[in-house]
Chain A
Amino acid sequence: MSRVSFLSVQGVSKRFGGLLAVSDASFEVAEGSITGLIGPNGAGKTTLFAIASGFEQPTTGRVIWRGEDITGRPPHRLAQDGLARTFQIVQPFAGLSVRENIAVGAFLRHRRRADAIAVAERVAERVGLSAELDKPAAALTVAGRKRVELAKALATEPKLLLLDEVLAGLNPSEVRDIVPVVRAIRDGGVTVLMIEHVMQAVMNLCETVHVLAQGRIIASGTPHSVVADPAVIEAYLGHGAAKRLSGAAHA
């Protein structure tokens, strides 16, 4: 376990008026890993992503990436530095074709249109969108739009990819289709940090999982150790649930 700390979130808090959305959260993402960030609804996962990707400033705390303090650096600069994100609510460029959508990401590292389009088409192949390239992004199914969201971020050629619920709203067979895509992305050299509710995928994909509840990191470890953690069970199912569950198992 002596892998270099790649992304390190250190004591990050975020306050919106009277609401403490994230409270002193610290965790690490190892280079080359697929790391999960899970937690009940409203735990502050998306806020934490927004802070890591530069869309929000933390009230306190720091985000260190590859030894550099990137707290508060604007999103477009982080993308240039190799940190890309997707959005939980997909954000396609609705009026554009799938090809043009992905090309916007590719233009980041390729000034010439022909190069950007070529990269876009290669990325589309990786995520299984080759057949949809000419369709308007708005015409795709939810699963298709999730793939476009993934492809746009991938086209920026990131080193670290933050995936915000790319599997939410997909049916089990669509989830099964996309899990290998995410694994292939990591195998292609991109570190992945994913917010996910679909536990089937988390158990399958992630080496390390951090659990956020009410703005705090309450557990970290392998997926199997984390789901057995009483604190995690209580966060999802309510106070005393862990005890009752283990009681039921013994009975």
Chain B
Amino acid sequence: MTPRDLLPIAGFAAAAALLPLFVTAGTWLNFMIFTLIICLAAQGWNILGGFGGQYSFGHAAFFGTAAYGTAILQLRYGVNPYPAFAAGIAAAAAVGWIIGVLAFRSGLRGSYFALVTLAFAEVFRVLANSAEVTGGAAGLLIKLDVRPENFQFESRANFYWIALALVTGALVLTRWLERSRLGAQLVAVRENESAARALGVDALSVKLSAITLSGAVTGAAGGLYAQYFLYLDANIAYGTWISVEALLAPIIGGAGTVFGPVLGGIILHSLAEFTKTLVGRIPGVDLVIFGALLILVVRFPPRDIPGLLKRWRR
């Protein structure tokens, strides 16, 4: 990784960090924070799905595990939110590794892998909906205690900057991956697993590293969500909505690229917000827009927005 590799990331972070100086309305900050959380979840998906070609439909498993981990450690064990957040991320990474061992060891690929990840997320959702430690169907409410040392802030802008710092960290991580041996081997496995193995790539261990990293990053989004909204239930933490958002954003913005998930996340949520102001709050209207956009994007190779723009320019 050279300084030149990091320049676009630094540029993005600096520009985004200035936004709260101009945008002060609470609803807008709220929108921007939520979009960043989705971008972070999508960046996690991108490591496994974009670089590794292993399409997961169940990244909610990681999002929810870290979200519940962050909340439960605070509520039931009185742990400070920062270490609780870190532990939540570690738990999500561990869940990633376990799902990876079970799925990749038995050689699951393609749609079979997608279905198994979806099944894991659904099992977690059902369990969280009935278990006592997760508050069952009533969910968990993190006690309001607004102090910076308690990971709760008076001003939304502070939270925005923390979310931005995490998204920037994930961008740097992705850039590192792109330039590293692990990244090259992961892409090789995506393109042709047999050929990669013949060249000395330990496909299983490469995929396990990817799903563990992927789980950690998407987990960070979950922990952040819990800490920002201070409320969780099974349908939020382990719901299919987050699995879908985590995979739509990178696919639309450019899977397997560093900025793809962030670009996709911003486009998706701007569109959704725009539609809502246009047609009012019809439930599910944002999903209709997402679906239409997805169809449009995958209709033309290279099947993402940057590719679509390139086509039109020609």
From residue A187, how far is it (CB to closest CB) to chain B in Å? 23
A94 and B191 form a contact (CB under 8 A):
yes
Cβ contact within 8 Å between A75 and B198 = yes
Given contacts A93-B191, A94-B191, whether A76 and B184 have CB atoms under 8 Å apart is no
Among B178-207, those with CB < 8 Å from A are 179-181, 184-185, 187-188, 191-192, 194-203
Number of residues of chain B lying within 8 A (CB) of chain A: 19
Q: Is A153 an interface residue (CB 8 A)?
A: yes
* Whole-angstrom distance between the Cβ of A128 and the nearest chain B Cβ: 20
Residues in A with CB closer than 8 Å to B184 are 100, 103-104, 107, 113, 116
**B4 nearest CB across to chain A (Å):** 13
Q: Indicate if the CB atoms of B200 and A156 lie closer than 8 Å.
A: yes
B197, closest chain A residue (CB): A75
Among A80-106, those with CB < 8 Å from B are 80, 84-87, 91-96, 100, 103-105
**Per-residue 0/1 for B164-181: is the Cβ within 8 Å of any A Cβ (1 yes, 0 no)?**
000000000000000111
Instruction: Contact check, A93 vs B198: say whether CB atoms are below 8 A apart.
Output: no
Known A107-B184, A107-B185, A116-B181: A76·B201 in contact at CB below 8 Å: yes
Q: B200 contacts A80, CB within 8 Å?
A: yes
Q: B181 is contacted by which of A55, A74, A95, A107 (Cβ under 8 Å)?
A: A107
| Among candidates B181, B198, B199, residue contacting A113 with C-beta atoms closer than 8 Å | B181
Whether the pair A93, B187 counts as a contact (CB closer than 8 A) is yes
Contact size class for A?
20 to 34
How far apart sit A153 and B191, CA to CA, in the bound complex (Å)? 16
Q: Complex formed: what's the CA distance from A119 to B191 in Å?
A: 21
Residues of B within 8 A of A79 (CB): 197-200
Cβ–Cβ < 8 Å partners of B179 in chain A: 113
Q: Are B196 and A87 in contact, with the CB atoms below 8 A?
A: no
Most B-side CB within 10 Å, residue of A74, A92, A107, A112:
A107
Nearest B-chain residue to A149, judged by Cβ: B195
29 examples of A-B residue contacts, CB within 8 angstroms: A53-B198, A76-B197, A76-B200, A84-B199, A84-B200, A87-B194, A87-B198, A91-B194, A91-B195, A91-B198, A93-B191, A93-B195, A95-B187, A96-B187, A96-B188, A100-B184, A104-B185, A104-B188, A104-B196, A107-B181, A108-B199, A108-B201, A111-B181, A113-B179, A113-B181, A152-B199, A153-B198, A153-B199, A156-B200
